[in-house]
Structures are given as C-alpha cells and as structure tokens.
C-alpha cells in the first residue's frame, strides 16, 4: 500500500462547485465549462500514489492546477470531491483539530516565496514550526541547529532575514520544513524565484539531503529539467488533469501524447538517460587463462583493439589490448594473465550519459558498466553513447 494516496480528486472554484462536477467527470473541456458556468475546474480526476521515501514531482504550466493539488493534500484548499490518505489516516475525513495536528506533525510545506518573519532571527524562524508543535525548548534548539547545519547555514542562527540573499532565505525555508521532522514535505516551486546557479545548488542540496533523510516529497515545478533532475517519478499535469506519470527516462522514451512530447523536446537528455539504459552486452569477454593468440585473432576478426578480461565471478580483471597481446605472443606467453592493463573506464548503471562523455575518450574498449562489486554488467560503446545523445527520438533499446 502506498504511503500517500490521492484518489479521483476534483477542485472546482465558483459559487456552486457541485453543480458542475458531473460535467467535469464526463470529461468536458475546462474552457467550455468555464464559458458556460463561470466555474473553474482547477483539478479534475487526479489520482496518484506516492511511496514512503519517494521524491514525487508534479510538473505543469502556470494554471494547470499544481498549487491547488498540493494545497488539497494538507487541506489548505478543500477538495470538491475525492479522497486523500496518508498512511492509515484519511486526510479528507479529518476534523479541524485532527487536521491541525496533521499539519503540525506529519506534513510540512515549503513555498516559492517563503515568508520569513522579518523581526525574528533565522534560528527563531526555523524554530517557529517546532514551537507550534509544542516541542520543548532544549529540543527545539537542538533540532533548529541541526536543520540549519543540514542546509549549510550554521553560524547564521542569530542573523535577521534581511541580511540573507534569496538563496539563503530559501534555505531557511527548507530548514524549517526539515526541522519539524514531518514525514511528508510539500514543496510548491520552492526554487522558481532563484537564479539558475543558486537554483542548481539548491537542487543538489535537496538531493543530498534526501539521500540521507528519505522524506516523502511532493515537489512542484513548471520546469521539466528540474523535474527530471529531482524526481523519482513525475506526474505531467495539463488543464487540471494528469496526462502521464512515470520516471524521467520513461517519459523521455515514451511521451504519452503530443503535449508531453513538446516538453520532452527541451529536456537535456544527457542528464536523464543513464549508462544502464544505454549499455549493451559485451560481444565477448575473456578469462586470464585464454591464450594471447586466440584473443588477438578474435580482435582482428572483429576489428576491435581490446577486450575485457573477467574472473570467474564476472569481475573485471583488466583489458587485453592488441599491442600487448602481440608482445605476449612474441615472447611466448601461454596465457594473457600477465598482459592485462587498466586501460578502461568503469561507471555504475545510474551514471548520467552527460558524465560518460568525458570517459569516452580513447580507450581501446568501450566504457564498462559495473555493479558495486566490480562485476561487468554491460558496455557502452562510444558510438552508441554519441548516438543516444544526439538522437531526436531516444532509442537506447536498439
Ligand atoms: N481561489 C481561487 N478562486 C478561483 N480560481 C482559482 C483559485 N485558485 C486557483 N484558481 C484557478 O485554478 C486554476 C489552477 O490554479 P493553480 O494555482 O492551482 O495553478 P498552478 O499550476 O499552481 O499555476 P502557477 O504555476 O501559476 O502557480 C487556475 O486557472 C486558477 O486561476
Ligand atoms: Mg502554483
């Protein structure tokens, strides 16, 4: 069972939302409903489930309903219809006091324009949420210090917000979200107002934190590159409806419709596609007991310059390269065990293709994709890498 579940959620703005619910359910266009009735169908039949510890991104253009969805999750906006549950709690059934507890303890929210209290110090701003939760002072101080440390603002606790840059203020917002130790972090375009360099820094920071903290995150953005960088999965939203949910590579490879394709065209695919997706099985590998003549003959036949040599567990021992093999034959070596060299690059499956470009230099063998024990899982030939990076359509399955 998923951790956070959103089922068939609707939000209609206007004087009599229920009166147009049937039309929205029947799939009538948002613009038609608005023209006829003056009601705005902000969110229409949205269903998704987020696993504990997952980084889930909702991506869509301005007005597509992103903020409305995220605000319904903690019921800052009341759904017109549908069900939201967290773990074993049905959020849509909670009364006011229960809801307050949920917001204080289990769900915290970070906004785009994070409102800091100007007359309180950075530390007091971070501690605020904890005070509301009724956390006692010593504990508050400790968690505040930890959260500020996490976001790289140790030493700033006694400063005031107007002494901070935009990026630093946003870090305070993040620290406040983290300090509450809530299970779920709702983040509504937290980095959109930042300039690109700082924004990237904040993305890196958040990814690093998430690797340690494993919070469940629902993150909103209108930037598909940001979505692809951050999200374990992405929901693509259009006019209040989800048009596709998938991992970044899935969406890149298989956009559900024209609308998604038009976004995908702008994505830096080299940062989304990974070595694991571009790799293929090596044509052949050798063992250290093979003879230099046999290996060299095979290389000559294939028009290759080198081959991987593996131990009995499939781990890479080294590379047998043509020139060394020839030397070995000349001096009468029986096997290739003394001829192996380290002339190769090894990466793990999840390495983005962008990072492979630097390795693809001029080794005699393709890039090796290895697991954490050094077992060869596949190879990425240079031409294949370049093809994957340059393709209009992403075809790494060939
Ligand atoms: N309180 C409201 N009353 C009436 N209409 C609203 C209200 N809040 C949002 N809307 C409308 O609902 C639709 C979805 O708005 P929402 O703010 O969720 O979009 P968004 O995807 O977050 O956009 P942005 O990227 O600009 O933040 C829009 O058409 C918006 O005008
Ligand atoms: Mg919004």
We report the CATH number of the domain holding residue 227 as: 3.40.50.300
Residue 5 inside a domain? The answer is no
Is residue 26 domain-resident? Answer: no
**Same domain? 309 vs 211:** no
Predicted pLDDT at 181: 80
Domain end residue (candidates: 233, 268, 303): 268
CA of 239 to the centre of ligand 2 (A): 13
The answer to whether residue 362 sits within a structural domain is yes
Atom 24 of ligand 1, nearest CA residue? 62
Say yes or no: 252 and 145 in one domain: yes
Pocket (CB within 6 angstroms of ligand 1): 13, 40, 42, 60, 62-68, 222
- Cα(first)–Cα(last) distance of the chain, in Å? 36
Same domain (yes/no): 291, 170: no
Domain-embedded: residue 29:
no
In a domain, 211, yes or no: yes
Query: 313-345 burial string, b = 16+ CB within 10 Å, else e?
Result: eeebbbbbbbebbeebeeeebebbbebbeebbb
Q: 1 lies in a domain? A: no
pLDDT of residue 394: 46
Instruction: List the 367-370 sheet strands across, edge first.
Output: 346-347, 367-370, 376-380
What pLDDT, in 10s, does the model give residues 120-165?
Answer: 999 999 998 888 778 899 999 999 999 898 888 999 999 999 999 8
**pLDDT tens-digit map of 261-291:** 988 888 888 888 889 988 999 999 999 999 9
For residue 220, what are the β-bridge partners? Answer: 58, 188
Same domain as 244, residue 220? yes
Going by C-alpha positions, the residue among 321, 324, 292 that lies closest to residue 307 is 321
Q: Are residues 264 and 156 in the same domain?
A: yes
> Looking at the domain assignment, is residue 255 inside a domain?
yes
The pTM score is: 0.79
Q: Is residue 7 part of a domain?
A: no
* Residues 70 and 158 placed together within one structural domain of the fold: yes
Query: Domain span at residue 104?
Result: 55-78+93-268
67 CA distance to ligand 2 middle (Å): 4
| pLDDT confidence band for 361 (50 / 70 / 90) | low
Helical pair 166-179 and 137-150, crossing angle rounded to 10 deg: 130
Asked if 30 and 41 count as a contact pair (C-beta separation under 8 A), the reply is yes
Out of 13, 33, 224, give the residue to mutate to test ligand 1, the one with the largest number of ligand atoms within 8 Å of its CB.
13
Q: What is the mean pLDDT of residues 13-17?
A: 96
Q: Are residues 249 and 285 in the same domain?
A: no
Give yes or no: residues 258 and 362 share one domain.
no
pLDDT score at 178: 83
Are 190 and 117 members of one domain? yes
CA-closest residue to ligand 1 atom 2: 13
Bridging pattern class, strands 316-321 and 306-310: antiparallel
Listed residues 268, 294, 320: the one ending a domain: 268
Q: How many domains is the chain built from?
A: 2
Model confidence pLDDT, tens digit, residues 194-246: 888 888 888 988 998 898 889 999 999 999 999 999 999 999 999 999 999 99
pLDDT bin (cut points 50, 70, 90) of residue 360 is: low
- 252, 289: one domain: no
Distance 106 CA to ligand 2 centre (A): 22
Residue 335's domain is classified under what CATH number?
3.10.580.10
Residue 253 sits in the same domain as residue 284: no
Residues 172-193 have pLDDT tens digits of 988 888 888 888 999 999 888 8
Q: Of 226, 249, 268, which marks where a domain is finished?
A: 268
Please check whether residues 250 and 286 belong to one and the same domain: no
Tell the residue nearest (CA) to atom 8 of ligand 1.
Answer: 68
């Amino acid at each position: 069972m998923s951790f956070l579940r959103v089922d068939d959620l609707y939000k209609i703005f206007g004087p009599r939302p229920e009166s147009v619910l049937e039309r929205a359910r029947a799939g009538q266009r948002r613009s038609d409903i608005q023209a006829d009735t003056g009601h705005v169908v902000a969110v229409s039949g949205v269903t998704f489930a987020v696993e504990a510890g997952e980084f889930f991104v909702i991506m869509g253009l301005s007005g597509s309903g992103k903020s409305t969805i995220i605000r319904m999750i903690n019921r800052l906006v009341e759904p017109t219809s549908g069900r939201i549950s967290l773990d074993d709690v049905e959020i849509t059934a909670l009364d006011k006091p229960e809801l307050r507890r949920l917001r204080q303890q289990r769900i915290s929210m970070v906004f785009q324009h994070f409102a800091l209290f100007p007359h309180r110090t950075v530390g007091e701003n971070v501690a605020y949420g904890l005070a509301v939760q009724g956390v006692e002072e010593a504990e508050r101080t400790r968690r505040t210090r930890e959260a500020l440390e996490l976001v790289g603002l140790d030493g700033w606790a006694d400063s005031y917000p107007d002494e901070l840059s935009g990026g630093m203020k946003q870090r305070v917002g993040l620290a406040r979200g983290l300090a509450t130790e809530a299970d779920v972090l709702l983040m509504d375009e937290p980095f959109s107002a930042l300039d690109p360099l700082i924004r990237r820094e904040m993305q890196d920071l958040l990814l690093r934190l998430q690797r340690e903290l494993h919070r469940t995150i629902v993150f909103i953005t209108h930037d598909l590159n940001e979505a692809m960088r951050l999200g374990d999965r992405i929901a693509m939203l259009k006019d209040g409806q989800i048009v596709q949910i998938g991992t970044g590579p899935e969406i890149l490879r298989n956009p559900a419709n024209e609308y998604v394709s038009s976004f995908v065209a702008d994505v830096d695919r080299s940062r989304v596609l990974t070595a694991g997706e571009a790799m293929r099985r090596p044509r052949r590998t050798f063992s250290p007991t093979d003879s230099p003549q046999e290996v060299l003959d095979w290389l000559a036949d294939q028009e290759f310059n080198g081959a991987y040599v593996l131990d009995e567990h499939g781990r890479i021992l080294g590379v047998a390269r043509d020139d060394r093999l020839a030397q070995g034959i000349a001096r009468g070596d029986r096997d290739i065990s003394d001829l192996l060299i380290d002339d190769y690059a090894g990466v793990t499956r999840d390495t983005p293709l962008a990072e492979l470009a630097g390795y693809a230099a001029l080794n005699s063998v393709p890039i090796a994709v290895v697991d954490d024990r050094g077992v060869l899982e596949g190879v990425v030939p240079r031409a294949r890498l370049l093809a994957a990076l340059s393709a209009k359509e992403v075809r790494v399955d060939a």
